[in-house]
Amino acid sequence: MISKIALTLFMGLSMLFLCSCKNNSVLSKDCETCEGEGYVMETCPDCDGNGYLVVTCRNCDGDGYFRCNWCSGTGRDECSSCDGTGYRACSRCNGSGRNYEGYSCYSCGGTGRESCFFCSGRGYDECSNCSGSGRLECGDCDGYGKVKVECSKCEGEGKVKQTCEDCDGEGKVSVFK
Ligand SMILES: [Zn+2]
Ligand SMILES: [Zn+2]
Ligand SMILES: [Zn+2]
Ligand SMILES: [Zn+2]
Ligand SMILES: [Zn+2]
Ligand SMILES: [Zn+2]
């Protein structure tokens, strides 16, 4: 009776011993997840893998355009020949409205003025700096108001190294034989 118990105990112990012996025969092999590198490349969370970020243009504060200083944004350049009036003194009667005989000047109809030749009577010209638009496109963002900047987290790669979770960055995993 006693010997039977002892035998069972012995069998049990030896099984335990064999088991632990099996568990101890550990080999390591390259981690398949990271191919032994210890890290995996993952999409950069800062730029969603684009490699760049779209930010407000600092040059124009996001407006995309600057007001033209030449024309104060009006797009018009006052005609210096007529001071913006569109008229000049009639060249035939010198602005008097009358000819040397005292009659009404036929050239200006007695008004003493004629349409300004330089601005076609408009009183202004299109601002040559902004082509009449009154604004200038921001050279940094081409009028878009936003610019792309390289993502500093991934240095423009769009991907960042992440420690491999499967091998804790070791690059090797244990296999039981
Ligand atoms: Zn790994
Ligand atoms: Zn005249
Ligand atoms: Zn003019
Ligand atoms: Zn202008
Ligand atoms: Zn800009
Ligand atoms: Zn990035």
The tokens describing 168, both together, are 């804790």
Residue 23: per-residue pLDDT: 52
Using CA atoms, how far apart are residues 44 and 42, in angstroms rounded to an integer? 6
- Domain annotation covers residue 30: yes
Whether 119 and 174 share a structural domain: no
- Domain annotation covers residue 124: yes
Residue 68: per-residue pLDDT: 96
Whether 122 and 89 share a structural domain: yes
Whether 175 and 113 share a structural domain: no
Whether 98 and 130 share a structural domain: yes
99 C-alpha vs ligand 2 centroid, how far in Å?
A: 7
- Domain annotation covers residue 121: yes
- Between CA 86 and CA 142, with CA 133 as vertex, the angle to 5 degrees is 160
Residue 160: per-residue pLDDT: 96
54 C-alpha vs ligand 5 centroid, how far in Å?
A: 12
- Domain annotation covers residue 11: no
Residue 3: per-residue pLDDT: 59
Cβ proximity of 123 and 82 under 8 Å: yes
Q: Which domain range does residue 36 map to?
A: 25-44+159-177
Residue 28: per-residue pLDDT: 86
Residue 174: per-residue pLDDT: 86
Amino acid at residue number 50: N
- Residue 112: CB atoms within 10 A of its CB come to 19
pLDDT along the chain (177 residues), means of 10: 53 49 69 94 96 96 96 94 94 92 92 94 94 95 96 96 94 84
135 C-alpha vs ligand 5 centroid, how far in Å?
A: 13
- Domain annotation covers residue 88: yes
- Domain annotation covers residue 113: yes
- Domain annotation covers residue 5: no
Whether 38 and 71 share a structural domain: no
| pTM assigned to the model | 0.52
- Nearest bound ligand to the CA of residue 30: 1
Residue 1: per-residue pLDDT: 53
- Nearest bound ligand to the CA of residue 38: 1
Task: Give the number of domains in the chain.
Answer: 2
